[in-house]
Amino acid sequence: MPNHLIQAGILGVGSYLPERILTNKELEKMVDTTDEWIKSRSGVKERRIAEPEMSTSDLALRASRKALENAGIGPEELDLIILTTCSKDMIIPAGACLVQQELGATRAGAFDLEAGCTGFVYGLTIATQFIATGAMKHILVIGSENLSKVVNWEDRNTCVLFGDGAGAVVVGQVHAGEGVLATKLSAEGSGWQHLYIPAGGSKMPADPLTLEKKLHYVHMNGKEVFRYAVRVMEEESLNLVKAANLELSDIDLLIPHQANNRIIEHAAKRLGLSMDKVVVNLDRYGNTSSASIPIALAEAVETGRIKAGDNIVMVAFGAGLTSGGVVLKWGERQG
């Protein structure tokens, strides 16, 4: 282990979105809702839906290959794979192990991490620590979700919000002064019941009654989650900027969790940012949970919205209830 901390950052990015597009107009025929109601409440116009045979690890694999190619890193060079998801393939084994096998990353450890929509931020924070201490050199962090398979398509309050997709990053050493400048992880477990899937675990094992009552789908208290999100997105963003020894005027780009336009706009206003400095793809993809930030990051890199020297704030909230964020300075080698 080195006698000083190594600067960690993102070496490559990648994303994958299923081909099938489900529009609000199509949802009008499936559930009691309207295009205008969905757009006014959330900002979502359409979302991507994975094919029935496509699993969460399948989505993750496609995004991971793109991230590795973008980083110029071979799978054999990976030391660890962290898959963040709340819609994993099965209870055991970890989906990260399935990704490891398909990639041929035979040297890498692998585990899943579940922190709701904040999962990617948690995973990136953990990866940063392994790089900083010199324990590992290259880590793949993936946010992948197949939420269309765990939402109740008869519940208009949830099914209209979510979409499927995956984003991935390769984390490794970057130049001093670049990369991750600050991270923050938080949780308020007292609010766990506001966003959860009741059945399928040891607390409520699957049986005919849980299936009949549709307890294997997402249940959400939208008002309470919204109230929590508005508060923590502002608090976490301000704390992150301070921890990174930056001023609000130093922020070049905000990449928030893509859950609701009103929440995003509130956070941008509190940070004094115009919306042209905020990455928003919620209208096209819906809420892809832990995949939303890495998908948005990959798109921003691919479209040239991010350039060397930019200070980027990524902040999220999710089931748990959890929240957190990462501040990083984009470097010449990154992405």
How many structural domains are present in the chain? 2
Helix (H) or strand (E) holding 225: helix 222-243
Are both 211 and 294 inside the same structural domain? Answer: yes
CB 268 within 8 A of CB 226: no
42 and 165 assigned to the same domain = yes
Answer yes or no: do 158 and 192 share one domain: no
159 is catalytic: no
Catalytic residue check, 117: yes
- 184 and 134 in a single domain? The answer is no
CATH code for the domain of 62: 3.40.47.10
> Is residue 172 domain-shared with residue 187, that is, in the same domain?
no
Question: For residue 3, is it within any domain?
Answer: no
- Is the domain of 78 the same as that of 65? yes
pLDDT of residue 271: 87
- CA dist 76 → 64, 141, 333 (Å): 13, 15, 20
Contact 9, 180 (CB under 8 A): yes
Same domain membership, residue 197 and residue 162 = no
What is the pLDDT, as a whole number, of residue 332? Answer: 73
Question: How are beta strands 109-113 and 46-49 bridged, if at all?
Answer: unpaired
Query: End of a domain among 143, 161, 178?
Result: 178
Per-residue pLDDT of the chain (335 residues; tens, 9 = 90+): 455 799 999 999 999 999 999 999 999 999 999 999 999 999 999 999 999 999 999 999 999 999 999 999 999 999 999 999 999 999 999 999 999 999 999 999 999 999 999 999 999 999 999 999 999 999 999 999 999 999 999 999 999 999 999 999 999 999 999 999 999 999 999 999 999 999 999 999 999 999 999 999 999 999 999 999 999 999 999 999 999 999 999 999 999 999 999 999 999 998 899 999 999 999 999 999 999 999 999 999 999 999 999 999 999 999 999 999 999 999 876 55
Q: Residue 334 domain-assigned?
A: no
Q: Whole domain around residue 227: which residue ranges?
A: 180-329
pTM here? Answer: 0.96
- Burial class of residue 190 (count of CB atoms within 10 Å of its CB; 0-12, 13-18, 19+): exposed
CB 9 within 8 A of CB 178: yes
Residue 334: per-residue pLDDT = 54
| The last residue of a domain, from among 178, 213, 232 | 178
* Active-site entry in 257, 260, 261, 311: 257
86, 97, 117, 159: the active-site residue: 117
Q: Nearest Cα to 335, choosing from 132, 106, 62, 70?
A: 70
Burial class (CB in 10 A: 0-12, 13-18, 19+), 249: exposed
| Domain co-membership, 82 together with 187 | no
Does 152 qualify as catalytic in the annotation? no
Same domain, 46 and 190: no
